[in-house]
Structure 1
Amino acid sequence: MRQTAVRKPQALYTPEERRRRDQSPWTLVQGILAPVQFVVFLVSLALVLRYLSTGSGEGAADASVVVKTLTLYAIMITGSIWEKVVFGKYLFARAFFWEDVFSILVLALHTAYLVALATDGLGARERMFLALAAYATYVINATQFLLKLRAARRDEAAANAPRLGPVGAAS
């Protein structure tokens, strides 16, 4: 009879990585920038959708996408520094490899918007649809990071849970 080994999922952080994460000031910076970026995203999304539905407010929508893109650049740069401090690599560390891969797509779409705006390469409606595509990738990427945060909390709870010995006593 063949037995299948149950593979225990690898913890997101080693104990040393967790220590570096907890001691890094960049952890706090990320914790502040992430919700700020989300609020900027919501305001910008409303302005872009308003423009697409009414045809008015193009300047405000454009400005909001620029602000959203600048907050994205800020969180990506500081996030890369955080990743270097915690994992020893600026990007593509084992724990955040796929989030970083998708982040590149998010950056590319936001940057394409800036290029289109600066060069008049697209009409206003097309630019707003490009913004929506960039925002859709941002939402997916933000979800990836929220799931990682949840996994990290689950890992820490499991690591801090009391261990029961064979007779039920805490060990």
Structure 2
Amino acid sequence: MTTASTNASRIPLTRNRLYTDEERARRDSTKWTLVQGLLAPFQFVVFLISLVLVLRYLWTGAGYELASLSIVIKTGVLLVIMVTGAIWEKVVFGQYLFAHAFFWEDVFSFAVIALHLLYVFALSGGWYEPTQLMYIALAAYATYVINAGQFVWKLRLARLDAEGRA
């Protein structure tokens, strides 16, 4: 925990550190940090392409198969990043998921995964009409955007913490 005060108000500001010094050292030395750093933007690009294809189908009725394939690919990339992220958490924090620093991000990740997998199972089981499936995908994508925002916020906090200690 760090403490600072503002010049204007002299009210102490208390903030929990995202990483201990040991966790930061493990984070900086593991190859899994690079893996996550490469997979996250790749997943975002896959998401953007798929989102365009899904919206195109919903607006025009064309390209259902391509949109569906893109959602399945996005789901696969999501599962890969979840597994590699769990390995990263194990290396850095000593547990595969729900480490103190990323607890709520991990919790919300399961909602993201559940909606993506609902789409895949509904698609393969023929449970819904194509338009309904696309709306499930959009719900999955909305949760993904929120979850990605959670992680980006944590990266920002980590950067600010590192700058504050430099």
Query: What's the TM-score once normalised by structure 1's chain length?
Result: 0.90
Is residue 20 of structure 2 the alignment partner of residue 14 of structure 1?
yes
Equivalent residue, structure 2, for 1:54? 60
Q: Which whole-Å CA distance do the structure 2 matches of 1:114 and 1:23 have between them?
A: 36
Q: Which whole-Å CA distance do the structure 2 matches of 1:43 and 1:7 have between them?
A: 42
Per-residue deviation, 1:7: 5.3
Per-residue deviation, 1:65: 0.1
Q: Which whole-Å CA distance do the structure 2 matches of 1:115 and 1:7 have between them?
A: 48
Equivalent residue, structure 1, for 2:3? none
Q: 2:40 aligns with which of 34, 45, 54?
A: 34
Q: What code does the residue aligned with 1:11 have?
A: R
Per-residue deviation, 1:145: 0.2
Is residue 125 of structure 2 the alignment partner of residue 119 of structure 1?
yes
Equivalent residue, structure 1, for 2:4? none
Q: Which whole-Å CA distance do the structure 2 matches of 1:156 and 1:27 have between them?
A: 16
Q: Which whole-Å CA distance do the structure 2 matches of 1:10 and 1:143 have between them?
A: 19
Q: What code does the residue aligned with 1:32 have?
A: L
Q: Which whole-Å CA distance do the structure 1 matches of 2:12 and 2:121 have between them?
A: 49
Per-residue deviation, 1:8: 1.4
Is residue 93 of structure 2 the alignment partner of residue 87 of structure 1?
yes
Q: Which whole-Å CA distance do the structure 1 matches of 2:71 and 2:108 have between them?
A: 19
Give RMSD over aligned pairs. Answer: 0.9
Q: What code does the residue aligned with 2:127 have?
A: G
**Mapping 1:57-72, distance limit 5 Å:** 57-72=63-78
Equivalent residue, structure 1, for 2:114? 108
Equivalent residue, structure 2, for 1:169? none
Runs of 4+ in 1 over 4 A off after TM superposition: none
Query: What's the TM-score once normalised by structure 2's chain length?
Result: 0.92
Per-residue deviation, 1:6: 3.7
Query: Residue 15 of structure 2 aligns to a residue in which SS?
Result: coil
Structure 1 residues not aligned, in runs of 5+: 161-171
| Higher-Rg member (1/2) | 1
Is residue 150 of structure 2 the alignment partner of residue 144 of structure 1?
yes
